Amino acid sequence: MSEAFLPYGRQTIEEDDIAAVVEALRADFLTTGPTVGRFEAAFAERVGASHAVACANGTAALHLAMLALGVQPGEVVIAPSTTFLATANCARYVGAEVVFADIDPASGLMTPETLGEALMRVGDRRLRAVLPVHLRGDAVDLPALAALARDAGAVLVEDAAHALGTTMDFGDGAETVGDGRHSAMTTFSFHPVKTIATGEGGMVTTNDPDLAERLRTFRSHGMVRPEHGPAWWYEMPEIGFNYRLPDILCALGLSQLAKLDRFAEGRRRLAAAYGDALAGLAPLVQAAASPPWSRPVPHLMTVLIDFEAAGRDRSQVIEALRARGAGSQVHYIPVHRQPYYADRYGVAMLPGAEAWYARCLSLPLYPAMTEADVARAAGALGEALGL
């Protein structure tokens, strides 16, 4: 019997997760019910935030964050070019303009230096927010980025779609991604390849009660219920969206959240196993760099490959991996090169993002894998590169 195919990522759904969803299906609420609040409370406690607001997906979380801040057309949001489309798109959803920041080509992360360069390109426009991305699960330099944003009159909104469970130590003790110590809000995703899964789903955490209230209002059409009025009365002072996360998905989220420590330990163990398994492929293959302050829960096992020196192009390597039973993915095509943004702004010179894109490839990583699976994926990469 041939060995099972190893996708680059996949969910881990167990019998107790299924039982939790079945229990929710048998309850009175399928959409918005008491499980939503329980999931939000458990999530906020886990990351150390005062408030957590569940929503339909990670993209909705970013959009809600822009709405809650009141970002206006013509204002500016800075986002790294090395990210998924949604990090930049959320600014355009509210009419704001995007200035793309470059990244460190070894880690894929926005740095104080690349943010500083992006700030110079904002010019005399009003900057409202900076959206650093904790790519692969590794944390950016939050204190330094927050200070630069603050000096420019803006706030941080962390895109932590990859980084649930990641902790940091900037010299003042352990911090957790999502605790809001350096940012106005942090957004998360529960897509199946993420650390915990709800099918689709997202969360925004904040320590600001006013922002939390605005997030909750905007996720439900912009409706509010005045304190004084008939029980059936509602009003819509501002237009919102249907970005709610149903009870049945929050039931799965609660079950998955209880396993976060186990999932995190598994991902870290597998990443360490990759370090050993890939050592023989150096210098053609190197793991993405991890900053010294970051204690990641790895979402992606991204390696940087010198395809030219190997005499292979990336498409050839991807196909050779697939033929050997290992999936892979590219994270990411620089967003500033996408036709929509290139047509709007021209193509910026971002050498870090270009260098990262030229070399990056993500290998299989998910908790159900074994060390033998890691060895098989690393071996397949070696064969694909002719090593």
Beta bridge partners of 202: 55, 189
Q: What is the per-residue DSSP string for 127-146?
A: EEEE--B-GGGPPP-HHHHH
Place of tokens 């944390």: 139
Output the pLDDT for position 367.
96
CA-wise closest residue to 195 among 159, 157, 165: 165
Domains of the chain from N-terminus onward = 15-257 (3.40.640.10), 260-384 (3.90.1150.10)
Question: What pLDDT shows up at residue 229?
Answer: 83
Query: Do 43 and 37 form a contact (C-beta atoms < 8 A)?
Result: no
pTM over 0.95: yes
What is the chain's pLDDT, residue by residue, as a tens digit (387 residues)?
368 999 999 999 999 999 999 999 999 998 999 999 999 999 999 999 999 999 999 999 999 999 999 999 999 999 999 999 999 999 999 999 999 999 999 999 999 999 999 999 999 999 999 999 999 999 999 999 999 999 999 999 999 999 999 999 999 899 999 999 999 999 999 999 999 999 999 999 999 999 999 999 999 999 999 888 898 999 999 999 999 999 999 999 999 999 999 999 999 999 999 999 999 999 999 999 999 999 999 999 999 999 999 999 999 999 999 999 999 999 999 999 999 999 999 999 999 999 999 999 999 999 999 999 999 999 999 999 998
At position 75, the amino acid (one-letter code) is E
| Cβ burial, residue 17 (10 Å; 0-12/13-18/19+) | buried
* Structure confidence at residue 1 (pLDDT): 39
pLDDT at position 301 is 98
Q: What do you get for the CA distance between the two ends of the chain, in Å? A: 26
Residue 105 is predicted with a pLDDT of 98
- Give catalytic residue positions: 194
